[in-house]
Structure 1
Amino acid sequence: MKFAIALFAAPHAPSSRRALRFAQAALDGGHEIVRLFFYQDGVHSASSNVVSAQDELDLPAEWRAFVQDQQLDAVVCIAAALRRGVLNEEETQRYNRSAANLEAPWELSGLGQLHEAAQTADRLVCFGGP
């Protein structure tokens, strides 16, 4: 089965961890992930500036390692990211900001990527959100 996964919750929210574990289990079960889409507060999971407490799971680091190890298509909504100060180098220059905090393997793109993933996948699974 092909899954598209959308994460709406911040890294410290329980649904962020559930999303990661679901994605890992899906691949372990022989399924495919066509795209991971980070939206709303979920964009913080892609920020390289999130620092987790020493006694907590570092979900942004786990997401990054998972995406890199599995060579997944991981998209961060550009509108949600800009609104929350999550910028790649290009957007840092465009908006004259001092530092970028979004690096590979993440890609900034629009909601069209979520729509396309939903059309390509057998199932769209969403975690977090209102």
Structure 2
Amino acid sequence: MKFALAVFSPGHAPSSRRALLFAQAALASGHEIVRLFFYQDGVHSASANVVAPQDELDVPAQWRAFVTEHQLDAVVCIAAALRRGVLNAEEAQRYERPAVNLPAPWELSGLGQLHEAAQTADRLVCFGGD
């Protein structure tokens, strides 16, 4: 089965951890993930500047390692990211901001990527949000 996942909550939220566990289980079971889409506060899971307390899991780091290891298509909504100060090098330069906190493997793109993933996948599974 082909899955597309949308993550709406930040890395410290339980739903982000559940999304990661679901994604890991899906791949371990032989399923495919056509795209991970981070939207709303979920864009914080892609930020390189998130620091987890020592007594908590570093879910953003786990996401980064998972995406890199499996070479997944991991898209961060550009509008949500800009609003929350999550910038790749191109956007930091465009808006004359001093910091970059969205390195590879993440890709900034629009909601069209979520729509396309939903059309390509057999199931769109959403985690978090209001």
User: Which TM bucket (shorter chain)?
Assistant: over 0.9
Partner of 2:5: 5
> For 2:68 and 2:51, how far apart are their aligned partners in 1?
19
SS of 1:6's partner is strand
User: TM-score, normalised on structure 2?
Assistant: 1.00
Matched to 1:54, the amino acid is: Q
- Return the alpha-carbon distance in structure 1 between the equivalents of residues 18 and 89 of structure 2: 30
- Unaligned segments of structure 2, at least 5 residues: none
How far residue 123 of structure 1 moved from its aligned partner, in angstroms, is 0.0
CA distance in 2, matches of 1:80, 1:40: 5
Tell me the equivalent position of 2:69: 69
TM-score, normalising length: structure 1: 1.00
Cα distance in 1, alignment partners of residues 83 and 11 from structure 2:
17
Size of the alignment, in residue pairs? 130
Aligned-pair CA distance for 1:17: 0.2
Paired residue type of 1:20:
L
Deviation of the 1:124 alpha carbon: 0.0
1:124 aligned counterpart, secondary structure: strand
Alpha-carbon distance between aligned partners in 1 of 2:5 and 2:17, rounded to the nearest angstrom = 13
Task: Write the mapping of 1:46-61 to structure 2, written as runs, cut at 5 A.
Answer: 46-61=46-61
2:88 & 2:119 partners in 1: Cα distance? Answer: 27
Q: Which aligned pairs between 1:97-116 and structure 2 lie closer than 5 A?
A: 97-116=97-116
Tell me the residue number matched to 1:127.
Answer: 127
What residue identity is the alignment partner of 1:35? Answer: R
Q: Which residue of 2 aligns with 1:89?
A: 89
CA distance in 1, matches of 2:106, 2:32: 18
Instruction: Using the TM superposition, give the Cα deviation of residue 72 of structure 1 relative to its aligned residue in structure 2, in angstroms.
Output: 0.2
CA RMSD, Structure 1 to Structure 2 (Å): 0.3
Which residue in 2 is equivalent to 1:42? 42
| Deviation by residue 1:21-43 (Cα, 9 ceiling, x = unmatched) | 00000000000000000000000
> Percentage identity across aligned positions?
82
